[in-house]
A = this chain, B = another copy of it.
Amino acid sequence: MNFASDNWAGVSPKLAAALTEAAAGLAPAYGGDDLTARATTALRDLFETDLEVFFVATGTAANALSLAATSCPGGIGFCHADAHIANDEGGAPAFLGRGLTLITMPGANGKITPDALSASLSHYPQDPGQRGTPRVVSLSQVTEAGTVYTPEEIAEIGYVAHGRRMAVHMDGARFANAVAHLDVRPAKITWEAGVDILSLGLTKTGAWCCEAIVVFDEAKAAHVAAHRKQAGHLFSKSRFVAAQMLAMLDDGHWLELAGAANAAAARLAAGIEASQNARLAWPCQSNEVFAHMQTETLKRLQEAGATLYPWTARGTTVDEVPKEGETRVRMIANFATTDADVDAFLSALG
């Protein structure tokens, strides 16, 4: 009954085996090795386009360095008020982004809309003046509400952003879960929809450490290699990430893992919908489930051995706020979550 986070999970056995296999022999350092080259090719195949790949240590680094690459002195980024970059990265976007300012906006279902973005941009005339220069909009796919942008929603935001010569960044810490949910070609929710740079995170999917910055449009994201080096994120033994990436992409393993996590979450969400003791806060579209429940219910579940946490949010609309006496909780399934785990929880929930 542990739904704390998907980064509490270990790694898929297939990845452990891949790392063992890659352990022997010499290979050029700093990404000059064959496995890194093969991982790049695999990603080009997956996304059906030319692209550049830069491994980094964490999702926070992938996000902040992506934003840095799109920015300039006085650059401004836009995102949802509950975005991970604005709340949970300890200031990395401002620091690694060399003074990047983030402007946030609320929005239903954890999403920003083209209209909300346009309204935010109306504060910024074309001539930058004192206010700084809009440079990037960042979308979380999966969002912080566990929901998933449709290709059309992304494309509309991309249209607004590109109209202001801004870049579009996607925080794909749970990109696999979004692809599995939508059942689309990855291209369709990235560069085909206007995404210029992607934080592709497979750590939560089931790797030890497999985070990459994927650049679709180099004209919009410059100096990534140098940003990465200066932030201390250029791995010497790059192939240990590449081996994980290759194992993930081999034969659709990443979607297999994400699909399993999504299915566990769907089972959990269905059970909650059927329960009198909780109600879904947002539709379940990934491996995350958010629910409102009486604070006493939460206590009871925790005493029964469930691991789950209250979830505060800033960017919610009025009807998304917990009612008096309720707490909003987050539950996250991972690739190894079993039906038994879910059913035990639902049984405790009642």
List the interface of chain A (C-beta within 8 A of B): 2, 4-5, 7-13, 15-17, 19-20, 22-30, 56-62, 64-65, 68, 72-76, 86-102, 122-123, 128-133, 203-204, 208-209, 223, 226-227, 229-237, 239-240, 312, 314, 334, 336
CA of A16 to CA of B16 in the docked complex: distance in angstroms? 8
Residues of B within 8 A of A11 (CB): 23, 237, 240
Partner of A7, one of B29, B58, B90, B204: B29
The answer to whether A95 touches B223, judged by C-beta atoms less than 8 angstroms apart, is: no
The answer to whether B30 touches A10, judged by C-beta atoms less than 8 angstroms apart, is: no
Most buried by B among A12, A62, A99, A239: A99
Partner of A13, one of B23, B25, B72, B122: B23
Q: Which residue of chain B is the closest to A201 with respect to CB atoms?
A: B236
In addition to A11-B240, A26-B336, 6 A-B residue pairs with Cβ atoms within 8 Å of each other are A5-B29, A58-B233, A72-B223, A90-B229, A94-B99, A95-B231
The answer to whether A90 touches B131, judged by C-beta atoms less than 8 angstroms apart, is: yes
> A118: shortest Cβ distance to chain B, in Å?
13
Interchain residue pairs A-B with the least CB separation, the first 8: A95-B99, A61-B232, A57-B57, A90-B229, A7-B236, A73-B226, A208-B240, A74-B226
Which secondary structure characterizes the binding site on chain A? loop
Most buried by B among A8, A26, A239: A26
What are 9 pairs between A and B in contact, CB < 8 Å? A10-B23, A13-B23, A19-B20, A75-B91, A90-B131, A92-B231, A93-B101, A96-B99, A128-B226
The answer to whether B87 touches A131, judged by C-beta atoms less than 8 angstroms apart, is: yes
Partner of A235, one of B9, B58, B62, B90: B58
Residues of B within 8 A of A87 (CB): 123, 131
The answer to whether B23 touches A2, judged by C-beta atoms less than 8 angstroms apart, is: no
Most buried by B among A8, A11, A75, A312: A8
CA of A94 to CA of B100 in the docked complex: distance in angstroms? 7
The answer to whether B122 touches A312, judged by C-beta atoms less than 8 angstroms apart, is: yes
Partner of A73, one of B13, B129, B132, B223: B223
Residues of B within 8 A of A128 (CB): 90, 226
Residues of B within 8 A of A74 (CB): 90-91, 223, 226, 229-230
> A271: shortest Cβ distance to chain B, in Å?
20
Partner of A131, one of B17, B72, B88: B88
Residues of B within 8 A of A29 (CB): 4-5, 7-8
